[in-house]
Amino acid sequence: MEAKEEWFPKTRGIERSFQYIRWVSIAAIVGSVVSGILFFLLAGRVMLAAQSRVYILSAGKAMEAFASDRRSNLAVEARAHVYDFLTAFFTLDPDERYISAGLRRALYLADRSAKRVYDDLKESGYYAQVVTANISQRLQIDSISLDMHQAPYYFRCYGTETITRATSIVTRDLVTEGWLREVERSENDPHGFLVERWTILENRDVKIEHR
């Protein structure tokens, strides 16, 4: 009897030790799982933060910029696209290569409606006259109104053209309209829009200064 009584306490002690080891093992496993989840979440946040950082090279130095959702800047990019298209189309100097480069850049940003205007001006001899008469033309954008409620987005632009000739400086009011369709960004179209159904509504002389 005494041997059995000594054996039972030893058995209960061994069972308690196994239970203790089991609970410690379970706690260790749970702790490892929780730690792994927390590490995964933290790594995800770090990756998102890294992806939101953009570095640009300026004057040989890397500068940090911050990326943002396209939707939050849609109107800003739309105005920039209209600005880039119109200034490239209407900025002329008496140099055939300069004119060709600017118009090529503009025509990448618009559909065939812009090409038709270009073809009409070319057939009328306007670009040839710019070169032979040493004419410079500049466009100042005064305002761009946008309707961003429905795609494609309607725009109307008001600007002032200054045409410098050998004997005069002509100032013109320019009003154009069109629609913007979203497309994929590219090197030639960094804002990801395409001008459609572009029309010149008004292009009239308002002042002539003799030189």
90 CB neighbour count, 10 Å cutoff: 22
Measure the CA–CA gap between 206 and 195, rounded to whole angstroms. Answer: 27
Measure the CA–CA gap between 131 and 99, rounded to whole angstroms. Answer: 9
pLDDT in tens, 70-108: 666 889 999 999 999 999 999 999 999 999 999 999 999
105 CB neighbour count, 10 Å cutoff: 17
Measure the CA–CA gap between 177 and 30, rounded to whole angstroms. Answer: 64
Measure the CA–CA gap between 164 and 179, rounded to whole angstroms. Answer: 30
From first to last of the 211 residues of the chain, give the pLDDT tens digit.
544 555 455 556 666 666 767 776 777 777 777 777 877 777 767 565 555 555 554 445 545 555 555 666 889 999 999 999 999 999 999 999 999 999 999 999 999 999 999 999 999 999 999 999 999 999 999 999 999 999 999 999 999 999 999 999 999 999 999 999 999 999 999 999 999 999 999 999 999 999 8
Question: Which pLDDT does position 62 carry in this prediction?
Answer: 47
For residue 29, report the phi and psi dihedrals to the nearest 5 degrees.
Answer: -65, -45
Helix or strand or coil: residue 71? Answer: helix
127 CB neighbour count, 10 Å cutoff: 19
